[in-house]
Structure 1
Amino acid sequence: MDLMIRHQYYGWIIVIAGFLALFVESILYLYGVFITPLLMDFGWSHTIVSSIYATAMAVYTLAVIPMGWLNDRYGPKTLLGIGALLTGLGLLLSSAASTLWHLYCTFGVVVGIGLSPIYVSIMPTLIKWFTKRRGLAVGIASSGIGFGQFIMAPVLTYIINSYHWRLAFTITGLISATLLLIAALMVEENPEKLKLSSQAGGGDNLASSLKSPIPLSVAIKTCAFWMIYLCFTFACFALFMVLVHIMPYAVDSGIPSLQASISLGLIGVIGTIGKVVAGIIADKIGISFTLIFCCIGDAMAIPILLLAGNVQAIFLFTALFGLFYGGWMIMYAPVLAEFFGTTHLGSILGVVATTFGMGGAIGPVIAGYIIDLTGNYLSAFLLGALMFVAAAIFYASAYKLKGKRFPRFYSQGER
């Protein structure tokens, strides 16, 4: 009994570590506050400025696969330490950039690599520590991203307006390195390393039906894996098309930049609520309905953004969009744990997490190109809505296909 109490207690310490680490990952959602000052300082187009962020996401995408494998081998402490060093260094160097290629190298490459270990080290660790309240634990830890958006978006905007975007990069770098180092000191890979028993009961239905863990080499040969991959790819395309361009859209619509930054931050804080609520709901009724419902919800929220270029419409949109996006975003690790087990989760998650990077790398550039081509945001945002619908369809297909290709890994009921 004492071991169980200690296990449950330290499990929540892992949640706090995850919250701090994912607070730093909110950098990937905050690039929008830098778009307007970079446009003004350098005279670049929306496409060029978006391509800096796209470079970071492309590098993130390439790096996250080996980071998942390294997490399975060396554990989260090492990876979070590497992330602290590279993220802090990259942001500090970005503050001194004077040309486009400087930002490609510093923010695009160094920050992209620095952020890549965070998600694939924290999420597999949380999944190993929790079975009974896994959705809630993942939801609370993931809310760090939302709090990061909510707190840092207006803070960085104030710094940019009052001082300079270079100081904003510097402060972000120092905060990021500090929080990641604290998280690295707190985190432990699994209960066994602390000689604690595994938390009992409440495992996910599909995961509990596995007769043996499914390695990455087998997972990638299943149709369900690729349907899941396409689901998150399309959802992330749509997500970043909106997140990167909502602030310049608001400013172009005549809304003051500080209010526009608050709308970006509001997506984060409402997303925090969505993550926790979705985690609780998923624990009770399952992840499949929750994920599909949230993707459709985001698709239905986007037209509100286009109805009127005023503060009320934008804030209504951000509230709904944030609530639903928070719900589906936390599902990466729980979905993969249900379909393929936890033994090789780091490696499998590393591959599927590339969808996040691809969405961030390509989505904003496509949106930026459409905006430059048409002179407005209508077509870009409507394309995002259609992508959310496609994401829901892909996941529904994955659910129908589970266990079909390699039934020997599943019990009779899941064939």
Structure 2
Amino acid sequence: MNRTARGWSVTLAGTGINLALGVLYTWSVFAAALTEQLHWTKIAASLPYTVACAMFALMMVPAGRLQDRYGPRWIATLGGLFVGVGLISSSFTHSLTLLILTFGVIAGIGIGLGYSAATPAAVKWFPAQKKGLISGIVVAGFGLASLYIAPMTNSFIKTFSIEGAFRIEGIMFLIAIVALSQILAVPLAPPQVSAQAHTKVQILTSPGSPSNQGTPPLSPGLLKTDYSWQQMLRTSHFYLLWIMFASGATAGLMIIGQLSSIAKIQAGISWGYAMVALLAIFNAGGRILAGWLSDKIGRAWTMRLFFLLQAINMFAFSLYRTPELVALGAALAGLGYGSLLSLFPSAIYDFFGTKNGGVNYGLVFTAWGVGGVIGPLMAGAVVDATKNYSIAYTIAALLCLLASLLTFLLRQPTLETENQRLQSKPI
């Protein structure tokens, strides 16, 4: 199998793994059943999901480091085992405390392990000009998962109860993730860049080049240096990206975690799982569209556009009072949120290289965990206190507007700036 074919097989395997890990995004279906059948409060029903988001994000750092060191296959396999055990264990309890442990902690750890391995493994098979697209395809699986898992979960709950839904999905996803993990691998050598890019590198790193005075030349074919996580933390770009990611994730995860309830409160519909599935389509589409667009016009411009779109949508969300308008809001929320999950890994690989991409993206991904904690809990607390989501929508909108403005401080890395960094910060 040639390199391109092998790269696509790893890409599709990673997408398949994320299609199973995306069970996290269907929590609103479980939450609706817990509030209706077991009479939990909305904030209580949000807690297992919130803890799962936090564990997912926290696990991305050690998981990223482990997959950088030992390879993606074993880390993803371990993730599949944790997800399966967590979901199956959830089927044996009605206790909030135990559900936080089984779904929130155990399944959350598994999701972090599996997710950390899929995207870095895929992008390493392709040249730099395809990083955005490949990242978008792999993470699209995570967003698209709700399209089939949400109605499937709803059906399982009606037929087999909440416990049966957890148990069946635990067995299904354990088998699927472990099997697909065996396909994951990384190449022995980096992909070749185009002849034009190779020529540019040779010119800019030649001994007489002004940008190369006093700087050791970059290896032929490499457009950047690979930063360790310690070096990355010394850059301003890391903190800008972290704040932007946390802001967008807060808005997106708030909607994802509460959408079934939002649909019932604002539009009076009891089939909110269909809205979750609709959001999933646009969530996945946003990942691919944003990844492709960012390869064409740059990461900063693409982030700016999607953050602004999400801010406008959040300001308007309290006005969505019909099923059609809630569907529009869900679609736009999915599009804006989905863009984050391809734009930010691509930006990390742009600024800090792919060699340590797992742990570097894991550190930035902690911002997603913060959003996963703040967004759902804020929304649950607001609606329990005020019986509507208006204040939560306004806070989310302001955060997205802030993130859009911060993109003006980002600068796309070039070979010249990387050479300057090499001068001031030896690798």
Give the structure-1-normalised TM-score: 0.90
Instruction: Tell me which amino acid in the other structure corresponds to 1:305.
Output: F
Q: What's the counterpart of residue 142 of structure 2? A: 145
CA contact (8 A) 1:153 1:264 kept: yes
Residue equivalent to 1:43? 39
Contact 2:267 2:326 in 1 (8 A): no
Q: 2:209: which partner in 1?
A: none
1:166 aligned to 163, 166, 170, which one? Answer: 163
Give the direction of change, closer, same or farther, for the CA distance of 1:218–1:405 in structure 2 (3 Å limit): farther
Counterparts of 2:384 and 2:344 in 1: how far apart (Å)? Answer: 33
**In 1: Cα distance, 2:197 partner to 2:149 partner:** 36
Q: Quick check: 154-163 or 70-79, which moved more? A: 154-163
Q: In structure 2, what is the Cα distance between the partners aligned to 1:119 and 1:63?
A: 10
Counterpart in 2 of 1:198? 191
* 1:324 paired to 2:336: yes
For residues 9-408 of structure 1, the aligned pairs below 5 Å read 9-131=5-127, 132-192=129-189, 198-201=191-194, 212-258=225-271, 260-399=272-411, 408=420
How far off its partner does 1:209 sit? 7.8
SS at match of 1:31: helix
TM-score, normalised on structure 2? 0.87
Distance change (3 Å), C-alpha of 1:164 and 1:380? same
- Whether the aligned pair in 1 keeps the contact of 2:224 and 2:415 (CA below 8 Å) is no
1:51-83 Cα deviation digits (max 9, x unpaired): 221122222232221111111111100111100
The RMSD of aligned alpha carbons is 2.7
Distance 1:160 1:304 in 2: 33
Q: Which runs of 5+ in 1 are unaligned?
A: none
Which AA in structure 2 matches 1:34?
Answer: F
8 A contact 1:17–1:186 mirrored in 2: yes
Residues 345 and 372 of structure 1, relative CA distance in 2, 3 Å threshold: same
Deviations along 1:107-165, one digit per CA (max 9) or x if unpaired, are: 11101111111222112112211124222222222221232111111221222234312
Code of the aligned partner of 1:224: H
Q: In structure 1, how many angstroms separate the alpha carbons of the residues matched to 2:39 and 2:102? A: 20
Report deviation, 1:308: 3.3
Alpha carbons 1:224, 1:402 under 8 Å: kept: no
Distance 2:165 2:269 in 1: 19
The farther-off stretch of 9-18 and 304-313 is: 304-313
Please say which structure displays the higher CA radius of gyration: 2
Contact 1:127 1:334 in 2 (8 A): no
Unmatched 5+ stretches in structure 2: 202-217
Deviation digits for residues 242-262 of structure 1 (CA, Å, limit 9, x no counterpart): 11112111122354332x111
1:271-329 residue CA offsets vs partner (Å, 9 max, x unmatched): 22222222222222222211221111111123443213211101111222222322232
After superposition, the Cα gap between the structure-2 partners of 1:395 and 1:170, relative to the gap in structure 1 and judged at 3 Å, is farther
Secondary structure of the structure 1 residue equivalent to 2:93:
coil
C-alpha deviations, 1:10-61, integer Å up to 9, x for none? Answer: 1110110111111122122111111121123333221122122112222223
Measure, in 1, the Cα distance between the counterparts of 2:42 and 2:413. 41
Distance in 2 (CA, whole Å) between partners of 1:383 and 1:405 is 36
Q: CA deviation at 1:407?
A: 6.6
Please state whether the residue corresponding to 2:410 is helix, strand or coil: helix
| Distance in 1 separating the partners of 2:299 and 2:382 | 34
Give the match's secondary structure for 1:229: helix
Amino acid aligned to 1:370: V
8 Å contact from structure 2 (residues 13, 180) kept in 1: yes
> Residues 171, 311 of structure 1: CA spacing in aligned structure 2 closer, same or farther, 3 A cutoff?
same
Q: Which whole-Å CA distance do the structure 1 matches of 2:254 and 2:80 have between them?
A: 27
State the alpha-carbon separation in 1 of the partners of residues 11 and 416 from structure 2: 34
Q: Partners of 1:249 and 1:79 in 2: how far apart?
A: 36
How far apart are 1:185 and its partner, in Å?
1.1
Distance change (3 Å), C-alpha of 1:11 and 1:361:
same
**Local SS of the residue matching 2:360:** helix
Contact 2:267 2:323 (C-alpha < 8 Å) held by counterparts? no
Assess if the C-alpha contact under 8 Å between 2:224 and 2:352 holds in 1. Answer: no
329 and 405 in structure 1: CA distance in 2 versus 1, 3 angstrom threshold = same
SS at match of 2:121: helix
Q: Distance in 1 between matches of 2:374 and 2:416?
A: 32
Q: Separation in 1 of the partners of 2:341 and 2:62?
A: 22
Q: Which amino acid aligns with 1:282?
A: S
